[in-house]
Structures are given as C-alpha cells and as structure tokens.
Amino acid sequence: MGVEGARQIQHFSHEHDLILSNEELMKDELCDGCVQLISTPFYSCTQCNFLLHSRCAQLPRNKWHPLHPHSLILISIRSKYYFASFSCKACQRLSNGFSYVCGTCYFGFDLQCCSIPKTMKHEGHQHSLSLAVDSNRRCHVCNVTSNDKPCMLVCTYCDFALGFECATLPLEARHKDDDHLLKLTYNAEAYCEEYYCLICEKKRDPKQWFYYCTECDFPAHSQCVLGKYPCIKFGSTFTSKDYHWLPSNFVPET
C-alpha cells in the first residue's frame, strides 16, 4: 500500500513508524516537514514529538524546479545529521524542516519555496505572477530589492514584484497576544487614519501586508507575529556533526 491513505508508514525522515491521524490537536503544533501549523490529516510518532502533514509525507524524493538546472532531492536536515538548520536559497530564511537540495552544487529550497510553480496566482495581487531570477526589481510588500532577494515573482501586466519571503507567508498564524487565528491581510483598514501594530505598538506601513484578527480588531506586523525564525520548529531534536553527537534541542532566544 502506498503512502496515501496508509494508516501506518515508515518515512525516510524519521526512525520510528508514523501513525495517520484525523483528530484535532489540543494545542497548536508545527509540521516537521514544512514547519507550518499542523492540520488534518497528519502523521505522528507515538514515541516522540514528530508530526508530518499527510501531503508532506507524500512528497516525491526527486523533482525539478524552474529556478535550478539540476534535479533536486528531498532530505531531512536533522535525520541526515548534516546541520542543525539551513538557509533557503529563495527566501533566505533559516529552517530546520525538509528541503530540496542539489547534490551537484548544494543549491537548496525549503518546501514552501520549492512548491511555487513557474506561474502562479497569489491572493495578494490581481494578476498572475511569474518566476524571475535577477530581475532587478523591488518587492512591493517588504520593499527589499532583488539584489538581496535574487528570486522574485513578477507581474507581466504591471510593476508589481514579490519576493519569496513574502510570497510564502502563511495564510494563518498564531500569537500569544490573541486567542484566535490571525489571517494574512493584504489591504489596510480603510477606516483607520493611523496604522499601528498591537504587538510592538509601533506604526505600520499601510502598503505592507499584516496579520489581523477580525473578532478582536487585532492588527500586527508579520514579523511581530511570526518572530525572527518563522521556519524553525522549536523543541525539535537534532544531532549535528558540527558541534557534538549528542542530541540537542532548538529553543527560542531569551
């Protein structure tokens, strides 16, 4: 029986068997593959805190991506004992999830960036966007130039451009200052004369995307909601040959 629909599987990324579950978790947890909020169905380990979306468990081990000329292989950084984390070449965020890497030149993507097709439609823009490398454009959301973010998504109908870091912002996120899921929001509140983040209490640029809770009227900067390391699963265990061979944990900065 294949991975899809299987109740119990063995996955290359983990040493224990994984069990399929359709039950909602009592608290928010992150997938060890894509490092996004867990949703059903997912696989879990009964011996440790390892969780994997069913869709992440079904990913092909090899694939091609239009931004790179060589075939990429799916790896789990921690299970292979390479490094504790890696930097995605597209969004440049630090991650300890799965990655697609090139065995020839060590070019690597995290799962979110590698899932972006050559042409896509994003909710934050009315036109389709196309992949571009060294486009010499500035991201309209974070205002960072393509010199610092070489992989961009550009619109062929207008001057809109989107960096991979902004293109892969999660549609929903949690923060301890609000009891509800926060939604990624693209248009500033029309009725507001001044725009503030209720986490850092500083002003927001109305042109930039933000997270918002409609029930609590709670707006916040994306970086305030997601933190400095949005693609790191804290509390997960790794073993690194760069430091020592004893298991260690990712913990937030204090």
CATH assignment of the domain containing 14: 3.30.60
Q: What is the mean pLDDT of residues 131-158?
A: 78
Domain residue limits at 225: 169-243
Confidence label for 167 from pLDDT (cuts 50, 70 and 90): very high
pLDDT at 161 over 80: yes
pLDDT at 249 over 70: no
Q: Report pLDDT digits (tens) over 173-230.
A: 999 999 999 999 998 765 566 889 999 999 998 888 999 999 999 999 999 999 988 9
Backbone angles phi, psi at 222, to 5 degrees: -65, -40
Q: Tell whether 123 and 108 lie within a shared domain.
A: no
Q: Report pLDDT digits (tens) over 78-124.
A: 655 455 678 888 888 899 999 999 888 877 899 999 999 999 999 99
Query: Would you tell me how many other CB atoms lie within 10 Å of the CB of residue 39?
Result: 13
Please tell me the predicted confidence (pLDDT) of residue 246: 35
Q: Is residue 248 part of a domain?
A: no
Q: What is the mean pLDDT of residues 143-165?
A: 81
Q: Is residue 252 part of a domain?
A: no
Q: Tell whether 155 and 187 lie within a shared domain.
A: no
Q: Is residue 232 part of a domain?
A: yes
Q: How many domains does the chain have?
A: 4
The mean pLDDT of the chain is 84
- Is pLDDT larger for residue 246 or for residue 188? 188
Q: Tell whether 88 and 133 lie within a shared domain.
A: no
pLDDT at 242 over 50: no
Q: What is the mean pLDDT of residues 162-176?
A: 92
Q: Is residue 250 part of a domain?
A: no
Please tell me the predicted confidence (pLDDT) of residue 85: 78
Q: Tell whether 109 and 132 lie within a shared domain.
A: no
Q: Is residue 28 part of a domain?
A: yes
Q: Is residue 24 part of a domain?
A: yes
Q: Tell whether 191 and 211 lie within a shared domain.
A: yes
d(CA 178, CA 238): 31
Domain end, chosen from 150, 167, 184, is at 167
Q: Is residue 97 part of a domain?
A: yes
Using an 8 Å Cβ cutoff, are 43 and 19 in contact? yes
Q: Is residue 26 part of a domain?
A: yes
Q: Tell whether 31 and 87 lie within a shared domain.
A: no
